[in-house]
Amino acid sequence: MDPRAGTPAQPQDLIDVDAVVGAYYDLHPDPDDPAQKVVFGTSGHRGSSLDSAFNEDHIVAITQAIIEYRRSQGTDGPLYIGRDTHALSLPAWESALQVLAAAGVEVRVDARDSWTPTPAVSHAILTANGATTVDGVRTSGPGLADGIVVTPSHNPPRDGGFKYNPPHGGPAGSEATSWIADRANEILRTGVGQVKRVPLSVAVSVPSTQKHDFLTAYVDDLQNVIDVDAIREAGVRIGADPLGGASVEYWGEIGERYGLDLTVVNPTVDPAWSFMTLDWDGKIRMDCSSPYAMASLRHRMEPAADGTTPYDIATGNDADSDRHGIVTPDAGLMNPNHYLAVAISYLYGTGDDGARRPGWPSSAAVGKTLVSSALIDRVVAGLGRKLVEVPVGFKWFVPGLLDGSVAFGGEESAGGSFLRLDGRVWTTDKDGIILALLASEILAKTGRTPSQHHADLVERYGESWYARVDAPASLEEKATLAKLSPDQVTATTLAGEDITAKLTNAPGNDAAIGGLKVTTENAWFAARPSGTENVYKIYAESFVSAEHLEQVQAEAKDVVSDALGGAE
């Protein structure tokens, strides 16, 4: 923990924007250096131009690889491309457009020449592919749309990011990203000079490049996924903080379009993010689930001497608006796991006027990642619904959201999406805007804040203690951990309880989790190798006590170490 965590950024904390952008063009990656190759994580390729990990060569190569991949899949409809407010996003957007235009790809760019949240791109792809029609969404065949979002999400200002969303509208699966990354790295090795490009002035003016009003299409459709009338009629006072990200203009339009008592708390866009408070490690990071990054909004919600607060609900989003943070007057910033449990309980439950979402299929399951709180498991069981537990990554929720078999998918990292009021798909990528608005709907319809609802869930299902810690691991150990089998775990107890399951595949879809999860009656831990550091991550939870959680964490390291030793 950095001693300045939660305090305002100082001049020495800020990036030199010109240097970051200059390095994007001036530095060229070494294709034989693993740290400078194209690597797609769960949310695309990310890195900093200053480290030769996100430079023009990367974007030219990735874009060409995407062009070739979509052709191989028969995808020949429009490609919707959006960008966030990071300093590297505009240069990368321009480079990509030059390559796309040269290849004759039908491209749809923002009509306002502005920023576009990730969920707005997903929404555009799905709408183009039939999300709002009775026939439903098509994901294969000619004429289909896909998309690119230029964003490193909540990463620090020095970073850039680039991700591909195929016709299903969600994050590309590993088969697609592996193909794209391999082809992009091949292009890097042979030289990006082979890739055809046109000048930017030509790229923005060719007939194949057309404008699309992402903002209007998304905002106008919100009434079909959120009960905005209830929010307006209840007079909920909303404070929305875009954290300098792509949702800044969207929140203002949402308030005006639906007549809400909504204030954009901070409309400033600054690629250095000089207005941010520092995250836990002293870095500027737009993580709306972090109490340190959200310190300014939390302070705004502290009660005055007379007990009043400026807003009934305050919310935050990260730079591309695919994550949400919820701040209430009675509890401050909610833990993402707590809010997910409340959202599920509300959406699948009933009120005085009947089912909250009567248009949802009665058999629709609840989706969660296996490192999310077991409180969700208990809530889902109490609702009599099916739980679909999947590996880390929102891509696993895409099929269920598309066909309505999963009405809600959520991640412990404050990401989620859910179906429209009529049961059809809304987005297949995370949507921090609708999760933020849902908090106001919950207050409007029930008269109680999400944090008060969480207190009810704790009273019914028990209090839990949840945390994530890291443990050192070599590259070889990380590779071994990712391929463990349950029989390599010899432990029979964990923190005084019998082990009830040893999982290396997710119970919801039998997909490999790339690590290990161990459960008992009142606790669990999951261990996964980091994709960027020589550590593995231990997620753990106890329904006994904070001390019991510490015991679970300590013994988890022993269990993993023994399993790794036995696997050698």
Catalytic residue list: 153
Q: Closest Cα to residue 193, out of 70, 57, 92, 322?
A: 57
Report which of 514, 49, 464, 6 is spatially closest to residue 277, judged by C-alpha positions.
Answer: 6
205 SS3 class? coil
- Cα angle at 259 between 419 and 269, to 5 degrees? 80
Query: Is-contact 76 142, C-beta < 8 A?
Result: yes
Nearest to 554 by CA among 567, 566, 542, 568: 542
SS3 state of residue 199: coil
Q: Which residues contact 255 (CB under 8 A, 6 or more apart)?
A: 238, 240, 261, 262, 263, 264
Q: Find, among 397, 350, 353, 347, the residue nearest to 372 by Cα.
A: 397
Residue at 142: amino acid letter:
P
Write the DSSP string, 407-470: EEEEETTTEEEE--TTSS---SS--HHHHHHHHHHHHHHHSS-HHHHHHHHHHHH---EEEEEE
Rounded to an integer, what distance in angstroms lies between the CA atom of residue 498 and that of residue 407? 34
